[in-house]
Structure 1
């Protein structure tokens, strides 16, 4: 697969994988919602959907799947891009749905009696992907991690271009692996000093700076490099070693053997889907009528991810207060999340993206005119 093909090829399996990963995260959070009041941290006896309780330890694997996909897709999308073009395309992809979904979350919180000043401050931090919370919606932390990864790719494009992606992935993977070794050692060692170190290493900045999840991004990048430049014995060895640390990261903080086993199985199955989707990307050409639907599911995964958490935890007790049964509340709340997400994707997100793209073209044109004017 050439560099140009890696960028232009459509990988239908990755869109399906994105939607499945979003579904896992939705199941995780719906399993935490309280029945009588808007919360995702209420007592277990007040859980709205007890049948989803197992997902509270498993569904978050969707985040690790997203990071793996990002490592591959972002590396591929950077091919042939200037640093500024890459940054602008990422901003156009990320911010419109983020801003609109944040407004939806803000309205939902205001409906519960939350003070406007607090909601506005939380939205402002959310809208700019501030590394310091709190936020109007808790899932934004993953986008902050993604944004730091984008910044890393931006810096690489400035310094050495995509030819250095393999080396950058290895450095990122090694740093993340060392962090994971120290974290696991601190969590398993006895004594208050080890407990303090484990608590320190578990804080958000270590996620922001890609140490906690860097191995996931690194494996995605190395897989892209393998498809783009050819898999070698040394490259495969790097991937194999980092996959061990990916498995270690997945098992950290997940309670119980079963949760770890299922989470690992889901992530490794997703890795297999990624590999097959890229290696056999031409299969979708036999089903041209399905392409628009699959693309739509891939696009829908992002607004679903952004809208399900705060909106869901507010809608569930509101519907429960109407006296509806739990199954009816579950399906109604899920339908509301899907409907709101679909409407955002179909209308305001697209309009705002178009406006930003037009602004970007105008900026490019003005630069070209300025460069050619004597």
Structure 2
């Protein structure tokens, strides 16, 4: 197994696209025109019929890349260690951001939440239960993607023993699982059933990433990977055709195929640019950027004493997002990962130190 440096470039690209898409909504919310977006839409996005796919491209790219990378991790970790490492990876930063947004909202500072929130709303968001319970406003709406990710993590953890012995079996189970769930989860009339449908709809994208990873690892034949991938893609199309709400974006299925091909190509990229220290450093901060960019966008006009988003506020928001994401990575995400790895290896470190201690005592005796 080797580090797939090219995927760092895709993660950065996906972050930029998601930030750009939410910036469009931010300008529109303030009643402002964004000439950069108007020009890009008229010259590129509109003629290519990509205008509605901008944000969807970023999210789907994250899903495919995550499905691939998680497969690499699952191939060498036990189920318990796999889940623990994923929890340490996503939860500390998530909780810090949600707590900050909750405090700012309670203080009356606009951060993209326009309803009154209480302690119950905070706990609902910290557990992501707000997406299943009505009456609990979301503190950071992009976190819906984590619900899909966690569902995928649970499936992968449950099938790790099968993945190592019969690599073809988990993809087959994934196809069967999504097909059955799509048949029984047709109702979207409540908050909970709608979120369940969202999870089922987007899981095939992560499973496509898993198939790419299994083929890259050499444990699944490319023909089998393509066959399973076609099945997952057809399930995605089926989910789209049988729902008026999710994802409800024309051309979504075709876009996922293009993203999968792009991931396959980028996974093989090497060279100084894609493997450089700066590229990897920026890519490591994309999760923090994803979580904080919306709150930073909406709080920026308040900090600049303006009522709407402006070009100046936009550039300040870019700088603010970069600074906040860097601080979150340096002070929360990276330290949490290091602490857990030290705790995880505590027994191994003790075993390595024991022979040295015995040798030292023997030398002192002599």
Q: TM-score range by the shorter chain?
A: 0.7 to 0.9
Q: For residues 169 and 290 of structure 1, do their structure 2 counterparts lie closer, same or farther at Cα, with a shift above 3 Å needed? A: closer
Deviations 1:193-236 (A, max 9, x none): xxxx46469701223xx421121122112222222225343442
Q: For residues 266 and 206 of structure 1, do their structure 2 counterparts lie closer, same or farther at Cα, with a shift above 3 Å needed? A: closer
Choose from 139, 142, 145 the match for 2:142: 139
How far apart are the structure 1 equivalents of 2:222 and 2:53?
36
Q: Secondary structure at the match of 1:60?
A: helix
1:29 corresponds in structure 2 to 22
1:346 and 2:339 correspond: no
How far apart are the structure 1 equivalents of 2:105 and 2:144?
18
Q: For residues 146 and 325 of structure 1, do their structure 2 counterparts lie closer, same or farther at Cα, with a shift above 3 Å needed? A: closer
1:243 and 2:233 correspond: yes
How far apart are the structure 2 equivalents of 1:149 and 1:206?
14
Q: Shift in Å at residue 306 of structure 1?
A: 0.8
CA RMSD of aligned residues (A): 3.9
Q: Secondary structure at the match of 2:266?
A: helix
Gaps of 5+ in 1: 36-41, 187-196, 369-374
Q: Secondary structure at the match of 1:105?
A: helix
Choose from 9, 17, 31 the match for 1:16: 9
1:104 and 2:108 correspond: no
2:282 corresponds in structure 1 to 297
Q: How does 1:182-221 map to 2 (within 5 A)?
A: 197=187, 199=189, 203-207=194-198, 210-221=199-210
Q: For residues 87 and 198 of structure 1, do their structure 2 counterparts lie closer, same or farther at Cα, with a shift above 3 Å needed? A: closer
Q: Shift in Å at residue 307 of structure 1?
A: 0.7
Deviations 1:317-355 (A, max 9, x none): 415643787211111112211211112112332223323
Q: Shift in Å at residue 92 of structure 1?
A: 1.8
Q: Shift in Å at residue 265 of structure 1?
A: 6.2
Choose from 301, 314, 328 the match for 2:312: 328
2:66 corresponds in structure 1 to 70
Q: Shift in Å at residue 83 of structure 1?
A: 1.4
Q: Secondary structure at the match of 1:329?
A: helix
1:276 corresponds in structure 2 to 265
Q: Are 1:177 and 1:215, in contact at CA under 8 Å, matched by a contact in 2?
A: no
Q: Shift in Å at residue 304 of structure 1?
A: 0.5
Q: Are 1:219 and 1:242, in contact at CA under 8 Å, matched by a contact in 2?
A: yes
Larger Rg: 2
How far apart are the structure 1 equivalents of 2:126 and 2:309?
36
Q: Are 2:289 and 2:322, in contact at CA under 8 Å, matched by a contact in 1?
A: yes
Q: For residues 266 and 293 of structure 1, do their structure 2 counterparts lie closer, same or farther at Cα, with a shift above 3 Å needed? A: farther
Q: Are 2:204 and 2:235, in contact at CA under 8 Å, matched by a contact in 1?
A: yes
How far apart are the structure 2 equivalents of 1:213 and 1:172?
12
2:44 corresponds in structure 1 to none
1:190 corresponds in structure 2 to none
TM (norm. structure 2) is 0.75
Deviations 1:157-203 (A, max 9, x none): 2x5343345322233234435666898xx8xxxxxxxxxx4646970
How far apart are the structure 2 equivalents of 1:87 and 1:255?
28
TM (norm. structure 1) is 0.73
Choose from 38, 46, 56 the match for 2:31: 46
How far apart are the structure 2 equivalents of 1:17 and 1:222?
18
Give the length in aligned residue pairs: 332
Q: Shift in Å at residue 59 of structure 1?
A: 0.9
Q: Shift in Å at residue 18 of structure 1?
A: 1.4
